[in-house]
């Protein structure tokens, strides 16, 4: 089994101008991603606009990415978390058939589910594929932070290999690392990755990695070397990028930068759209500076 540790691009989805899934544009996004110094791809997650895609489209995306990326990165993780459990199971089974190394899933969040519901959801997905399962803590998406006691129980579900942690609460992350030293922890807050790397996370999974994934690999390497000055310098480049992307919308903004990098990735799917024109201009002007050239594929 491939090692799951390392820096993984939370892959964007390629859409046609009319909003339909585009295998051709998806392939172009993959081609750019694998030219970066990254360890793997995380397919079909929030960064890929999965919440506004159908299960059939996500299954097709899994196939396109596997065909295009196989042998070019070490690890491929398929996000399969959907509001309906049957769709998640279908996607988990398909990921196993295609040869993905692991699966991941948001917790169910369409309703205020009980802990037992969440545990059952994850257990069924893990059983369906037989692949290592990376569960997910992302309070800004689910509308609630998972209490530590609940996280203790969910991480003990059979088949759960680790956690994608997208929260700025580094204290909770550190407590979980101590409780579960045998589990893998991936950090998903791009603008704070250096701090999590210093805490010893096993890798990162992020949206801005689509454009400058090599930057995050360099941050991780600086942490390992104990080069704090370089770590801070690189993280501030990431923060400058994130600040400007947030001002125009994270997914549309990241796609705009990918287009400026020469990738025909297509638009974000409606109703997502770019923000104010002046902020888009500011993003594009900053991107045109030499500060980021080193990190483009």
Catalytic residues, which ones? 136, 164
Cα 297 to Cα 18: distance, rounded to the nearest angstrom: 28
CA dihedral 139, 92, 250, 252 (to 10 degrees): -150
Q: What angle do CA 40, 176, 222 make, to 5 degrees?
A: 50
Cα 93 to Cα 176: distance, rounded to the nearest angstrom: 29
Exposed, middle or buried: residue 116 (CB in 10 Å: 0-12, 13-18, 19+)? exposed
Residue closest to 213 by CA, chosen among 184, 234, 185, 240: 234
Cα 15 to Cα 266: distance, rounded to the nearest angstrom: 5
Kindly tell me the sign of the dihedral angle through the C-alpha atoms of 142, 144, 145, 151.
Answer: negative
Which CA distances in Å does 22 have to 49, 172, 180, 249, 294?
Answer: 13, 39, 40, 22, 29
SS3 166: coil
């Amino acid at each position: 089994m491939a090692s799951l540790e390392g820096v993984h691009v939370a892959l964007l989805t390629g859409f046609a101008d009319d909003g339909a899934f585009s295998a051709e544009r998806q392939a172009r996004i993959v081609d750019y991603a694998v030219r970066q110094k990254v360890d793997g791809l995380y397919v079909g997650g929030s960064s890929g606009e999965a919440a506004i895609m159908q299960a059939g489209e996500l299954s097709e995306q899994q196939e396109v990415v596997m065909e295009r990326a196989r042998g070019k990165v070490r690890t491929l993780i398929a996000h399969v978390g959907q509001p309906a459990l049957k769709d998640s199971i279908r996607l988990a089974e398909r990921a196993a058939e295609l040869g993905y190394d692991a699966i991941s899933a948001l917790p169910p969040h369409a309703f205020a589910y009980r802990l037992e519901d969440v545990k059952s959801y994850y257990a069924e997905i893990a059983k369906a594929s037989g692949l290592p399962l990376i569960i997910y803590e992302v309070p800004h998406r689910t509308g609630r932070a998972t209490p530590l006691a609940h996280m203790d129980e969910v991480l003990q579900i059979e088949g759960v290999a680790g956690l994608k942690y997208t929260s700025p609460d580094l204290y909770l992350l550190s407590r979980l690392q101590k409780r579960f030293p045998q589990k893998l922890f991936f950090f998903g807050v791009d603008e704070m990755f250096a701090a999590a790397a210093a805490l010893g996370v096993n890798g990162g999974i992020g949206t801005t990695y689509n454009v400058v994934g090599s930057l995050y690999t360099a941050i991780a390497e600086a942490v390992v070397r104990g080069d704090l000055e370089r770590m801070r310098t690189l993280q501030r480049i990431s923060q400058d990028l994130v600040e400007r992307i947030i001002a125009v919308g994270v997914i549309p903004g990241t796609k705009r930068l990918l287009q400026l990098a020469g990738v025909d990735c297509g638009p974000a799917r409606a109703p997502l759209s770019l923000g104010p024109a002046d902020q888009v201009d500011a993003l594009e002007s900053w991107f045109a500076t030499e500060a980021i050239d080193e990190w483009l594929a």
